[in-house]
Structure 1
Amino acid sequence: MIRPGIFFRGMAMGAADVVPGVSGGTLALITGIYEELIDTLGGITPRLLGVWRREGFAAFWQQANLTFLMTLLAGIFTSIALLARLITWLLATHPVPVWAFFSGLILASILMVLSPLRQRGLVQGMAFALGTLTAVLIAFAPAMSGGAGALVFFLSGMLAICAMILPGISGSFILLLLGMYQPVLEAVKEVQVPLLLAFLSGCAIGLLSFVHILKWTLHHYHDTVMALLAGFMAGSLVKLWPWRVADAAGLQDQWFTPAGYAATTGQSAQTLLALSTAVMAVALVWLLHRLAPVHNSAMANRKDG
């Protein structure tokens, strides 16, 4: 059965993935589909071919949860095709309220992720601190430079896709750090098939390898992993601070207070508008969180059935 809500969640993930510093995994976590996504991707193994041979294609499709996965991917790709230019334009023309919106989104999401955890001991606290520190270090890391051959595209794809499914760590930002964000965009623009195939191959291998580790840890150390992921999200707030200015190369940022931003750039700090968009984001997270239990109940019924 097709679930329209999954398509729109995919659109939210796709919109996030085109923005350096925002993770599609965060949107999956906010909207309550993160664990199903990891379980579905982790379940794609050669064992499914045996299900196909023994029980037929319909059983294979259901066992692999491909309706969920295909609907989600359709939403992601639709969003990238329709919204990428709009989001790019908004970031170029109205950066402060847009980044404030994303900051509010992440800040509210951290509370939503942590609130249902049953285990809140030293281990979970350390996991949260480790995730925060890791994301902060990534935000301050200097960008790399170098050649961009097929092997580099392949390895970049592996790293970026692993980051993309982790809440708080943006795959596109990892590409920026590697100095590969612009080369990948140019390869897409100029339809450089060999380089794109190398990049997509790296994405596929990285995803199917890393997701098994993530699935196992979620099943065995759920609350600790969720605390770690919440830490990733908290650390990413450094990169999402609305009042910052990039250097000439667009790789390193300087952080300012609203007043400092206005004095440095000669532009309005738009403080009231930024606060308003942040509040809107908090309200959106609350709404999505209220809808998530309905989805999670449907997921549980599917597993039991």
Structure 2
Amino acid sequence: MIRLGVYFRGMSMGAADLVPGVSGGTMALITGVYEELIDTLGGLGPHLLGVWRREGLVAAWRAANLTFLVTLLAGIFTSVALLSHLITWLLDDHPVPVWAFFSGLILASIALVLAPLRQRGLAQWLALLVGIGAALAIALAPGIDTVDAPVWVFFASGALAICAMILPGISGSFILLLLGMYQPILEAVNAGRYLHILAFLAGCATGLLSFVHLLKWLLHHYHDTLMALLAGFMGGSLLVLWPWREAGEHGQRGDWLTPGQYAHLTGLPAQVWLAALMVAVGVLAVWLLYRAAPVHNVAQQSSP
């Protein structure tokens, strides 16, 4: 894969991770790098030190597929640095079309994931339903009020959030909202509380390196069942992305409303036609991303 392409796919993941309710894992799946990402992360381990000693640093770097990983991470961090203010502004000032656009992304992604599956038996249907149920349970769960959280809570929050972040359909930032840790982490960053930041990052690293091995094993042994589960996660996440919702506190979203209720309560236009257009734009964007990655598309990844 062209490394510039990997970089831009990382940027799409970073942009998605900035939005509570949208997963960077979804963008990885759409753009065709999900399985390579899981395989690369799952391949990181002590055995690479042996490769380094026997064959040198270059061989270890290649064995770990670090060019791919570093390029992808560079895209993610670039997107977070450049787009955080833009996405915050869009969510604050133009919430309906933005959430509608992401809904279109998810709708098209579900079809993209399910269409090429060769196995469509009871196990796959059950996995799909379990995924939908799990995502709905997370979406409807009440947030936890966390005040002056200790360092270990930052560590645990990082471990949970990163696991969600690499699952399509489940947003790590949304998990932080539910845990009541979204605002404390932002405040720790803004205040320069480096002990809390390091604890959060350590939790992310621990959770990622632990959970990714399970994902890698499932991808290689129960590929279609896992993909059906991930499609269910994405389907359930559509509840979170419903465009007409009240604004809540600390970045959370309020009650689900009809377009008419939204216009009445907020005094803002419902923008139904614009929302429908942005759903279509989201669907088109997924199709274009899919066509742009013919070698790494979902259809080929589903082959056993």
TM-score range, shorter chain: over 0.9
* Normalised TM-score (structure 2): 0.95
Q: How far apart in 1 are the matches of 2:297 and 2:271? A: 38
Match of 1:85 in 2: 85
Q: How far apart in 1 are the matches of 2:241 and 2:249? A: 19
Q: Secondary structure at the match of 2:293?
A: helix
Moved more, 286-295 or 228-237: 286-295
Amino acid at match of 2:95: P
Q: Are 2:70 and 1:70 equivalent residues in the alignment? A: yes
How far 1:270 moved relative to its partner?
Answer: 0.6
Q: How far apart in 2 are the matches of 1:138 and 1:276? A: 28
* Normalised TM-score (structure 1): 0.95
Q: Which runs of 5+ in 1 are unaligned?
A: 301-305
- Taking a change above 3 Å as real, the CA distance of residues 53 and 40 of structure 1, as seen in their structure-2 partners, is same
- Taking a change above 3 Å as real, the CA distance of residues 281 and 2 of structure 1, as seen in their structure-2 partners, is closer
Match of 1:238 in 2: 239
- Taking a change above 3 Å as real, the CA distance of residues 2 and 190 of structure 1, as seen in their structure-2 partners, is farther
Deviations 1:177-235 (A, max 9, x none): 00000010111111211001100000000000000001001110000000000000000
Q: Are 2:264 and 1:260 equivalent residues in the alignment? A: no
Deviations 1:22-77 (A, max 9, x none): 00000000000000000000000100110111111111011100000000000000
Amino acid at match of 2:88: T
Match of 2:184 in 1: 183
Amino acid at match of 1:111: A
How far 1:136 moved relative to its partner?
Answer: 0.6
- Taking a change above 3 Å as real, the CA distance of residues 145 and 296 of structure 1, as seen in their structure-2 partners, is same
Q: How far apart in 2 are the matches of 1:239 and 1:42? A: 30
How far 1:277 moved relative to its partner?
Answer: 1.0
Q: Which runs of 5+ in 2 are unaligned?
A: none
Q: Are 2:276 and 1:275 equivalent residues in the alignment? A: yes
Question: What are the equivalent positions in structure 2 for 1:1-305 lying under 5 Å apart?
Answer: 3-146=3-146, 147-247=148-248, 251=252, 253-295=254-296
Q: How far apart in 1 are the matches of 2:242 and 2:206? A: 33
Match of 1:303 in 2: none
Q: Secondary structure at the match of 2:295?
A: helix
How far 1:111 moved relative to its partner?
Answer: 0.1
Q: How far apart in 2 are the matches of 1:72 and 1:139? A: 28
8 Å contact kept, 1:2–1:67: no
How far 1:289 moved relative to its partner?
Answer: 1.0
In the alignment of these two chains, the number of paired residues is: 299
Q: How far apart in 2 are the matches of 1:291 and 1:238? A: 29
Q: How far apart in 2 are the matches of 1:179 and 1:127? A: 29
- List, as ranges, runs of 4+ consecutive aligned residues in structure 1 with deviation greater than 3 Å: 246-252
